[in-house]
Structure 1
């Protein structure tokens, strides 16, 4: 629900842009303003989660983002769109890095990439399921609950489950293994002891708040993550419009629901690639190449998609790009977990996520601006390819620095 409430604006754009007078540039700006609010509140939010516990803080985050996600149903102008998107980012800030941090409390290192891939499976699942559901609501939701457009109904309904999930988090989510009532005391002690001993062995001197924020590896990973998720957000916000543009490029006219179904295909492929790459990384005990290779393959995929003369081949190439993006993500988050600990982990992970996610502002704005300037999405997709390729190059070029950060080849942690 978190990713769907963030990304469903890409489907709403198929009708909303004309209804409230948004150009492609203005839509890209509004979609990206989400990440400006996200950026400013990310580190403080994650520090609060570390202090007060996941149960209280994740419940608070889910409640506020659910309310604001539903409030998108009432926007009536570009200014209102910009405002609500900024507030949605501020409300959601801290959720994803909080989940990255939370998993380190529960799983030994040899399992973390696979567990992270199961968490991140929510991203493609939100698109595979959300794409047809969102477009169906848009197609048939006009008049429901008094809304004058189907996209308004979609925004309102898709924000409500997050509010219910806030109640579920408050009621059921344990902060640490010590609080898990489904484990017997011996199991709680064994799991806690295993994770603490691993942390002491791998991070004997965990960096504090200031040191983690100045760590060269953290700053490098900010740049790498920016390049990887640039591709994710460009595809998330504009893939439905790219697919709808098949009519002009290939003479293939698709209905609204058909656009949703076709847009789900790359994310379904990405889900498979994500799970396989994470499991392979855990088995091999290697992170750097499992991050760099998918990023580069994704760059090649999106570049190839620009010059294919068939909509089928174009979707295959876009699926390769999406698979590359999604396969890199769960492995990426094992790299900072290898050298950060304690409050430094909370701050460092949040900083990487917030800086990297500034691509969520840059990618839709640049893609929309280039679409208005050139008349198609080709230049915008070249920018995606360049950013993903740069992420791969940086990862390989600074491999030694990252290895010194605790990502030893052949080490199953």
Structure 2
């Protein structure tokens, strides 16, 4: 074996060792954090089974309350992500978790439509920085070639939250009358408390950057810090790094619209699936177990899908095909006349919605760096959530009140996912044009430097 081959083998072994250590240290913990984050925002779907009657909410009012969460979420998203970049992930994520855990538990105090709306709005403000903050945080620790898979592992928390949280939420509704509290009040109290505790743990457990990772050896720490710096330097030479550069980049807008469809699907299932399945006569505990099945399917398939995306280094078609599958699944769910068909349709939709997200979130950091990455990720999340998280639940609730069933709402969700599939396919052409424009403007500058 030549000297070069030996060095290449040693470098590959070092990379494998570092990525494995970083994955073991960071990934399980952030999965648990996102599990709680997603649970605290969608457990309202189970609570609504009894809460709506107790505090006087129509389906349309409930849809407004579910969606108004994202008004606060959108308003605080970009400032929160920029704050994380300035003060560090460890402190900022810990603070967010303690605050949103307390607010989630406080939803047990809702007594009517307006108090419900207010509590959902401020919960959105508190949670706004967490998801885009973690996406940015992963870009500090994992080279781009590993990012889709680790993002998929992180995002398994969303279907896991529905899979594990559904039976728990169903069981908690059965505590109605204990200590003179309604079952839905117990649900919010019990599911909000762990978030506060883990927020305190996060303050001591997380590490802001590779340079401060004393749980790596000096050699491993230096390799990772150098690798991430090389990646930042390479991106800085050919990508936008200013906040304004991200805001005006058409690729950011396009990705936000793609994300909007996946968000519409995600929150349609997360918030409305319990009520849709409940019409087949299941008890609360049975409902929780049945609702877990499509999410179990999504957990397995999204990881395999992301691994294939990393292996082939292809993102756009992985997003488009997944969104197409999700749109078809939602269309099937709208036609479902039995519980078996409905669960199968929701399983297909769950796969597509969740599988699209890891390759999608690997795309912004391919052309954004520095403050632009922080702003661009937050902007995509905020704009996508505006349509998917705010408008989606409101439309579904309104259509349910008008038509008497959920079919029209599911068709609406299907349409948004099919549009996302088309836009994701178009993204490749847009990205190539933007890359060509960047190269064209960079070439004269390079020529000037050569002359000098």
Answer with 176-185 or 94-103: which moved more: 176-185
Q: Which residue of 1 aligns with 2:287?
A: 259
Q: Is the 8 A contact 2:319 2:424 kept in 1?
A: yes
- The structure-2 alpha-carbon separation of the partners of 1:147 and 1:344, relative to structure 1 and needing over 3 Å to count, comes to farther
- The structure-2 alpha-carbon separation of the partners of 1:403 and 1:196, relative to structure 1 and needing over 3 Å to count, comes to farther
Bigger fraction of residues in helix: 2
The superposition leaves residues 315-374 of structure 1 with CA deviations (integer Å, 9 ceiling, x where unpaired) of 101110111000001110011010111011001100000110112111111000000000
Do structure 1's residue 366 and structure 2's residue 395 form an aligned pair? yes
Q: Which residue of 2 aligns with 1:171?
A: 204
Per-residue deviation, 1:301 = 1.1
Unpaired runs of 5+ residues, structure 2, are 1-35, 436-452
Q: Which residue of 1 aligns with 2:13?
A: none
Q: 2: distance between equivalents of 1:142 and 1:115?
A: 43
Q: 2: distance between equivalents of 1:207 and 1:402?
A: 17
Q: Which residue of 2 aligns with 1:162?
A: 195
Q: 1: distance between equivalents of 2:153 and 2:384?
A: 21
Q: 1: distance between equivalents of 2:336 and 2:251?
A: 39
Unpaired runs of 5+ residues, structure 1, are 247-252, 407-413
Q: Is the 8 A contact 1:68 1:88 kept in 2?
A: yes
Q: Is the 8 A contact 2:175 2:186 kept in 1?
A: no
Per-residue deviation, 1:169 = 1.0
Do structure 1's residue 65 and structure 2's residue 100 form an aligned pair? yes
Number of residue pairs aligned between Structure 1 and Structure 2: 398
- The structure-2 alpha-carbon separation of the partners of 1:405 and 1:153, relative to structure 1 and needing over 3 Å to count, comes to farther
1:332-347 alignment, distance < 5 Å: 332-347=360-375
Per-residue deviation, 1:306 = 2.2
Per-residue deviation, 1:241 = 0.4
The superposition leaves residues 15-68 of structure 1 with CA deviations (integer Å, 9 ceiling, x where unpaired) of 100111111000000011000000111000000000110011001100100010
TM-score by length of 2: 0.86
Q: Is the 8 A contact 1:46 1:94 kept in 2?
A: yes
Q: 2: distance between equivalents of 1:142 and 1:40?
A: 37
Q: Which residue of 1 aligns with 2:14?
A: none
Per-residue deviation, 1:141 = 5.1
Q: 2: distance between equivalents of 1:63 and 1:37?
A: 17
The superposition leaves residues 276-327 of structure 1 with CA deviations (integer Å, 9 ceiling, x where unpaired) of 1100000000000000000001101110222233321221011101110000
- The structure-2 alpha-carbon separation of the partners of 1:204 and 1:312, relative to structure 1 and needing over 3 Å to count, comes to same
Q: Is the 8 A contact 2:334 2:408 kept in 1?
A: no
Per-residue deviation, 1:201 = 2.4
Q: Is the 8 A contact 1:203 1:338 kept in 2?
A: no
Answer with 372-381 or 176-185: which moved more: 176-185
Which residue of the other structure, out of 256, 259, 269, is the alignment partner of 1:235?
Answer: 269
Q: Which residue of 1 aligns with 2:423?
A: 394
Which residue of the other structure, out of 333, 337, 348, is the alignment partner of 2:376?
Answer: 348
The superposition leaves residues 361-402 of structure 1 with CA deviations (integer Å, 9 ceiling, x where unpaired) of 111110000000000001000000000000000111232223
TM-score by length of 1: 0.94
The list of structure 1 runs, each at least 4 consecutive aligned residues, that deviate by more than 6 angstroms after superposition, is none
Q: Which residue of 2 aligns with 1:186?
A: 219
Per-residue deviation, 1:90 = 0.5
Q: Which residue of 2 aligns with 1:314?
A: 342
Q: 2: distance between equivalents of 1:176 and 1:405?
A: 31
Q: 2: distance between equivalents of 1:147 and 1:367?
A: 33
Q: Is the 8 A contact 2:74 2:128 kept in 1?
A: yes
What is the SS of the residue equivalent to 1:99? helix
Per-residue deviation, 1:199 = 2.8
- The structure-2 alpha-carbon separation of the partners of 1:273 and 1:147, relative to structure 1 and needing over 3 Å to count, comes to farther
Q: 2: distance between equivalents of 1:338 and 1:233?
A: 27
Q: 1: distance between equivalents of 2:434 and 2:312?
A: 18
Q: 2: distance between equivalents of 1:4 and 1:147?
A: 24
What is the SS of the residue equivalent to 1:263? helix
What is the SS of the residue equivalent to 1:254? coil
Q: Which residue of 2 aligns with 1:25?
A: 60
Q: 2: distance between equivalents of 1:161 and 1:404?
A: 47
Do structure 1's residue 43 and structure 2's residue 78 form an aligned pair? yes
Do structure 1's residue 324 and structure 2's residue 352 form an aligned pair? yes
Answer with 98-107 or 264-273: which moved more: 264-273
1:209-248 alignment, distance < 5 Å: 209-246=243-280
Q: Is the 8 A contact 2:315 2:363 kept in 1?
A: yes
Taking only aligned residues, the RMSD between alpha carbons, in angstroms, comes to: 1.2
What is the SS of the residue equivalent to 1:207? coil
